[in-house]
Amino acid sequence: METSFFDSNIFSYGLLPVLIFLARVCDVSLGTLRIIFVSKGKKYIAPFLGFFEVLIWIIAVSRIMQNLDNYINYIAYAAGFASGNFVGMIIEERLAMGIQMIRVFTGEKGLDLIKSLNCNGYGATSIEAHGAKEKIHIIYTIIHRNEIADVLKIINSYNPRAFYTIEDVKSAKEGIFHPRRRKNVIPFSNILRDWRKGK
């Protein structure tokens, strides 16, 4: 009896595990991004990603359930899950989404650092405080995540020994932000933004 290609060993033990691996990479990557968008308050994008995440997952699982005696599929499924987490984090780093706060503790040239940040288009607020040994300046600046490298370069140029922390900020209103336009890294984000404004 002649068997079809989808019933052959080449498909079952070769192509099918690869497809399951790739499907798992896609759905876990989407899941990682969905969680990130939820944490950033992107309530219109997260459900869109969640739909395709679950759709791909159902397809992958259904193929495994149809071939329960094929243990290679289990390995491909697990490997795809691990790889998907890694790929999702790489994509998130490339997108560099969100707003972050840099808090700088410096006892040297604090006012000069503020002026330099202001001259480069970054808002900065400072307060005087007492450290363990001397008076220090605590400087706060809120920036887009893709501007961190530029701001850290300014900080290190004034005081390479300055202590600083970086924290995520869910949202910010008003304030002084760098005038440079950010790249539209999310497909259809402008459409979604315009739609929300029209509501």
Q: How confident is the model at residue 76 (pLDDT cuts 50, 70, 90)?
A: very high
Of 155 and 161, the one with more pLDDT: 155
Helices (H), the chain: 9-10, 16-39, 46-65, 71-95, 110-119, 148-158, 189-198
Which range, 1-5, 91-95, 169-173, has the best average confidence (pLDDT)? 91-95
Pairing of strands 125-130, 99-106: unpaired
pLDDT digits (tens, 9 = 90+) for 18-31: 999 999 999 999 99
Of 173 and 145, the one with more pLDDT: 145
Quick one: 136 exposed, middle or buried, by C-beta within 10 A (0-12, 13-18, 19+)? buried
**Mean pLDDT in residue range 30-49:** 84
CATH fold of 99-169: Alpha-Beta Plaits (3.30.70)
Nearest Cα to 68, choosing from 4, 19, 12, 11? 12
> Distance between CA 192 and CA 46 in Å, rounded?
12
Of 161 and 62, the one with more pLDDT: 62
pLDDT at 132: 73
Tokens of 126: 């400072």
> Distance between CA 48 and CA 42 in Å, rounded?
11
pLDDT at 191: 41
pLDDT at 79: 94
Where along the chain do its domains lie?
5-95, 99-169
Amino acid type, 164:
Y
pLDDT digits (tens, 9 = 90+) for 80-119: 999 999 998 888 777 767 788 899 988 766 788 888 888 8
Residue 12 half-sphere exposure, CB side, CA atoms within 13 Å? 12
Nearest Cα to 75, choosing from 158, 128, 161, 17? 17
pLDDT at 178: 63
pLDDT at 144: 85
> Distance between CA 107 and CA 126 in Å, rounded?
12
> Distance between CA 96 and CA 85 in Å, rounded?
17
184 pLDDT more than 80: no
**Mean pLDDT in residue range 138-163:** 86
Q: What's the farthest any 2 CA atoms get from each other in the chain?
A: 88
What are residue 16's phi and psi, to 5 degrees?
A: -60, -45
The whole-chain average pLDDT of the chain stands at 79
pLDDT at 194: 47
0.85 exceeded by pTM: no
Of 61 and 169, the one with more pLDDT: 61
